[in-house]
Amino acid sequence: MEEKMKLTMDKLVNLCKARGLIFPGSDIYGGMGNTWDYGPVGVELKNNIKRAWWKRFVQENPNAYGVDAAILMNPRVWDASGHTQSFADPKMDCRSCKQRFRADNLIEAHSKGNQSAEAMTTQEMEEYISQNKVKCPHCGNFNWTPIRQFKLMFETSRGTVEGEKDVVYLRPETAQGEYVNFLNVQRSMRAKVPFAIAQIGKAFRNEITPGNFIFRTIEFEQMELQNFCKEESSFALYEEFKQRSKQFLLDLGFSEQHLRFHDHEKLAFYAKAACDIQFFSPLGWEELNGIHHRSAHDLTRHQEFSGKNLQYVDPVTNEKYLPNVIEYSIGCDRLVLAVLTEAYDEEQLENGETRVVMHFHPALAPFKVAVLPLQKNLSDKAKEVYAMLCKEFRCDYDEAGSIGKRYRRQDEIGTPFCVTIDFDTLEDGTVTIRHRDTMAQERLKIEELVPYISAKIKF
């Protein structure tokens, strides 16, 4: 794990801002807590992550169907899902400095992860904090309010006629958009159970916990798959998704030792099993995704609250039933953070300099290739090569500064290939291609570049 220790959250935040990956939200106004904007480089990385996920779980899965459901839903949806009643965090305020914290996070941080607060009642959490004299991480005082439940859903209002307003919610999760479309998807696509509905979309939570960069934000994207299946096959599917979701991360380049399963100690009353995959980051071990066996709870509740029969009719046996759901959900922004921390490296070079390099999987790299003329008077030829390559890949072009500095800039944003145009290029139509990870260089013909790079960036 030592190599991960080189990276602190501050270093990462600074690098992301300096290199156009991620900026603080509303930056010129002093920011707004827990909001971040993706810059020109970051948006490419995030889109590539979404593409890789969609390819793996939708495109390569004949039983998966994508949707893009509305963010604002009929408020009854949130009654059925239980969110209006109980989607809340246990908060405590420090009476001295007025900062607000989640009681469960205070306990877990105080015990350095040795005490899980997952299964604790409010009273047990208060007792732990009092007996262990857990102090405010901000001002160091021990002066807490009692725990209160803090609602996590953002409310807004919809006016149909002037003066008449209805409360609507910004969705706190994307899953309900898949559940309410269960029959629409099943019938329109003639889908047979088991099948999955997939979605990538924004969710909003009025989270108390301060920052930690994009790990926990109030607006974030989820990528998820709701698998509808028969009860008999549900546990096998649950196990399968634990493995498939881990394999996806390994294939993106995560090292096995930076990932681990965490089985939930406390299950929701309807759940039959639940686990997370955690990743090792500068924050310690943190949840990256969840795999949940949700029984037939969701469709049962929507059937009850909507009054619509949501039963699936088996086309062969005519059996009618509400399927079980195995949910696989991963935060896209959290995966961006995990990819950034996993890819980051600082290398000592022979000349004594330190090279910061992002070892992104080439399929995720924001730019696949950068075109660099050795000197400015080679820029016409370089722009010709750039014009050819940018039809195929997201490319960068840079003619400012020494070639060494330009390589370093590309290393910091993880560009897997740099193509250098020199005077020999004008003579024989060859270029130097430099590899990010090894810094090795080789000579290729210009017309070989597209097939060469295409073969190396596949996921």
- The residue range among 56-64, 325-333, 346-354, 361-369 that interacts with ligand ATP, by the rule CB under 6 A, is 325-333
- Least Å distance, CB 330 to ligand ATP, is 5
Is residue 370 within 8 A of residue 396, CB to CB? The reply is: yes
Q: Which one of 44, 93, 104, 173 is in contact with ligand ATP (CB under 6 A)?
A: 173
Question: What is each CA distance from 362 to 42, 252, 293, 414, 456, in whole angstroms?
Answer: 15, 9, 34, 8, 7
Question: In terms of CB distance, is 48 or 176 closer to ligand ATP?
Answer: 176
- The residue range among 15-23, 44-52, 328-336, 419-427 that interacts with ligand ATP, by the rule CB under 6 A, is 328-336
Q: Which one of 42, 282, 323, 331 is in contact with ligand ATP (CB under 6 A)?
A: 331
Distance between CA atoms of 334 and 24, rounded to whole angstroms?
16
Is residue 266 within 8 A of residue 276, CB to CB? The reply is: no
Coil, strand or helix at 421: strand
Element (H, E) at 48: helix 40-54
Question: Tokens for 414?
Answer: 């993880």
Question: In terms of CB distance, is 176 or 222 closer to ligand ATP?
Answer: 222
Question: In terms of CB distance, is 225 or 431 closer to ligand ATP?
Answer: 225
Coil, strand or helix at 15: helix
Q: Which one of 36, 128, 213, 220 is in contact with ligand ATP (CB under 6 A)?
A: 220
Q: Is 333 in the site for ligand ATP (CB under 6 A)?
A: yes
Distance between CA atoms of 242 and 224, rounded to whole angstroms?
13
Q: Which one of 102, 297, 334, 381 is in contact with ligand ATP (CB under 6 A)?
A: 334
Distance between CA atoms of 370 and 433, rounded to whole angstroms?
10
- Least Å distance, CB 307 to ligand ATP, is 27
Q: Which one of 45, 330, 433, 449 is in contact with ligand ATP (CB under 6 A)?
A: 330
Q: Is 289 in the site for ligand ATP (CB under 6 A)?
A: yes
CB neighbour list of residue 454: distance below 8 Å, 6 or more residues apart? 392
Question: What is each CA distance from 75 to 80, 88, 145, 412, in whole angstroms?
Answer: 9, 17, 32, 45
- List the interface residues with ligand ATP, window 185-214 (CB under 6 A): 205, 207
- The residue range among 11-19, 329-337, 377-385, 393-401 that interacts with ligand ATP, by the rule CB under 6 A, is 329-337
String of contacts with ligand ATP for each residue 115-154, x by CB under 6 A: ----------------------------------------
Which residue in 370, 456, 378, 438 sits closest to 405, CA to CA?
A: 370
List interacting residues with ligand ATP (CB under 6 A): 173, 205, 207, 216-217, 220, 222, 287-290, 329-331, 333-334
